[in-house]
Chain A
Amino acid sequence: MAHFSKYLCLYIFIFSFVFAVSGQAQEFRLRAHHIFWKNQEAGTQREIDFGRGVSAKILGKYPLLRDERKVHYISQIGTGISAQLGRPELRYYFGILDTDEINAFAVPGGYIFVTMGALKLMRNEAQLAGVLAHELSHIGQKHIVRKLKLQSTDRSLTSGIAQVLGSSTLAAKIALERLNDIAFKMLMEEGLSKEDEADADQKALEMLITLGYDPQSYLNYLQSLKPHLAQGGAEVLSKTHPTIEFRYQSLSEFISRHQLDKIQGKKNEKRFKKIMAIP
């Protein structure tokens, strides 16, 4: 043993250089949680890239309002709500679409748009917060992502769509363009399922209550949509969302089930009207 320890350094030196050229890369060392979270990160990036393309299509249809004060205001309200979503990996962007059509859109990756028509219909900040919370819930719950199967955490189950988003070939770019069209069509014509919309409404209500907003204001906003839907002032909304009756009924049951009917909160009507320049 004394002999061994005396020449230990020499043995290590020889060992190192004899075997340095052989052996295997260390990918196999990655543990299940490394691979899982790596895929999650890649999935998030795919979602952001995809959302950017879909947002471009929306902005091709509707012009973006260049009113810094209003945009800053809804960004502040929206960012406050987004902190409750549990998706800190995303950065959220809020925009106002300069159209009288009444609607709001949530695009994967953290892009939220509200139309000027919807803002004009609102009566207070609680209603604005309700609409933003509803749209943010779609992102938080990954409703569109799941419907399009954009994400996969297991390599063996990776969908063709996810592969398209991870590739830079011409074929992949064409496929991505096609995918953007499908998502755009979903937002403008087909909409999400009734269950997803009801889920987003309920989540929105929960977030409003947590933030101290008046939950009834959101229900009032839904009610105020009724005549406009009947008159065709919210054509896209009427195609892509369940009926107001269904949403109102669903929320009322939720409120009753959780005994939320006595909760009152802030409306911030004055501030809303001042910034939105509503007389």
Chain B
Amino acid sequence: MKNALKKLWLYLSLLIFIGFSTTSLYADDAHYKNMLIGERAATMGGSYVAISDDSTGCYYNPAGIAYAVGDSLSGSGNVLHKMKTVYTEAIGTQDWIRESESLVPNYFGVLKKYKDYSFCFSYVVPEAFIEHQDLVFNNPLSTVKKYYQSLHSEDITYLLGPSAAMQFGDSLSLGLTIYYHYRSFIRQYHYFLESTDGSYQLYYGSRKLREDGVMPKLGIQWSPWSMLTLGMAVDQALLVNSSFQGDASYHSTDNSTGTASLLTTMTRSKSETKRKFPLHLAWGVSYFPTPSLLYTVDLDYYQAAEKGRVDIMNYSGGTEYYINPTNAIRFGMFTNYTNLPLPDSSTTAPYEYIDILGASFGYTSYSSSSSLTVGATYTTGSGKAWLYSGSTETRNMTRESFSLLFSASSSL
């Protein structure tokens, strides 16, 4: 019985480690809408393809900046972006909780108009996961005295680049943004596992990844009837560089045979494999019944470019209402579906299948030449997680996130 339990905890601990380290190369590449960008856009669920008439349009649909009212400078920051993922009874009977917290300004844009042309330069952070964890599990199993893990991880994607748009007549515009894509990922992971018979495991690993690439985005906007706009945008990121290095050292003792045996290994791995990004097509419809009210709906289609991914469609919609001419409120909802295929009986770890729904709300105060926006986004979802490598065993998981948005714009 003792040996059976010993095997179990060794098995579990090793699988947790393997499973965890494999999935953590990307913070969350199974979802495409983890952070909403901009002030109006973010507070309307990210539904902005048929509006995009300010510098945020460079990111959503560059054609829309052709209809910007004037030159402007805007910046926004997620004052606080918190994400919490809970894996139920992942370690013995105890839940495993992963929390990410970031304070990253996620948008800056400057827009300049010249006759029928509009030019923009923008900086966007569409993904930012910053995770710092120190977890201690005391007696998770009868033969495990202590399990401790420490994780420090930062995974941030930056987009930076110019946009240009041109009007054709009163109702049609075309726009192009060319973003430089830069992603920096660094992760340090350490765990210590001590059994009741005095044997232990020690692991330390570090991973670094850098990606460089370009992401062109082409957009079009058309207004077929008064008060109605249609928009479409297409983009796909292409990597020109991807360099990964992973280092790991592992040390353990095994007292199960009565004689302590030691195991020490150290490994280094490198890779230059470039991941492939999906083709992203976005369609939007916006209806402007009065200067104080608008409704907008977007569809975001992602065509999978890698094996093990599926095409998905995300939906978003929002509304904007002016309480009075200088104060506006907005509300939006959106989906953030997983791009992983539906699991079946042969699905093994590492695998997480979770669909997410989100809602956003915001308030903007306008002065003659500037605006100030505060808003919040909440997302929630539940699904299944395959945590133990090689095992079909699942755990229930839930994910929640909350972002506080603070944004300011000024006309130039």
Contacts and interface: CB of A to CB of B under 8 A. Distances in A.
A1 interface: yes
Given A12-B220, A28-B226, A23 B325 contact: no
B325 A32 contact: yes
B67 A24 contact: no
How many of chain A's residues touch chain B, expressed as a range?
20 to 34
A21 B53 contact: no
Contacts of A15: 220, 222
B223 A30 contact: no
Given A30-B291, A34-B69, A37-B368, A19 B311 contact: no
A16 B67 contact: no
A228 B171 CA distance: 68
Interface residues of B, number: 36
Contacts of A12: 174, 218, 220, 232
Contacts of B371: 33
A36 B220 contact: no
B224 A19 contact: yes
B385 interface: no
A24 B226 contact: yes
Nearest to B167: A26
A170 interface: no
B366 interface: yes
B220 A21 contact: no
A25 interface: yes
Interface in A19-77: 19-26, 28-37, 40-41
Contacts of A20: 168-169, 171-172
B291 A35 contact: yes
B288 A16 contact: no
Nearest to A153: B325
Interface in B247-294: 279, 288, 291-292, 294
A25 B170 contact: yes
A8 interface: yes
A231 interface: no
B407 to A, nearest CB: 15
What secondary structure prevails in chain A residues at the interface with B?
helix
B27 interface: no
A156 interface: no
Nearest to B365: A33
A16 B291 contact: no
A169 interface: no
Contacts of B120: none
A33 B366 contact: yes
B215 interface: no
A35 B320 CA distance: 16
B170 A23 contact: yes
A21 B168 CA distance: 8
A28 B288 contact: yes
Interface string B214-234: 000010101111110100101
Given A15-B222, A23-B172, A31-B291, 17 more contacts: A1-B311, A12-B218, A12-B220, A16-B172, A19-B172, A19-B224, A21-B169, A23-B169, A23-B170, A24-B224, A28-B226, A28-B288, A29-B53, A31-B294, A33-B325, A35-B291, A89-B368
Interface of B: 53, 67, 69, 168-172, 174, 218, 220, 222-227, 229, 232, 234, 279, 288, 291-292, 294, 303, 311, 320, 322, 324-326, 328, 366, 368, 371
10 contacts: A5-B303, A20-B168, A20-B172, A22-B171, A25-B170, A28-B288, A30-B69, A31-B322, A35-B291, A40-B368
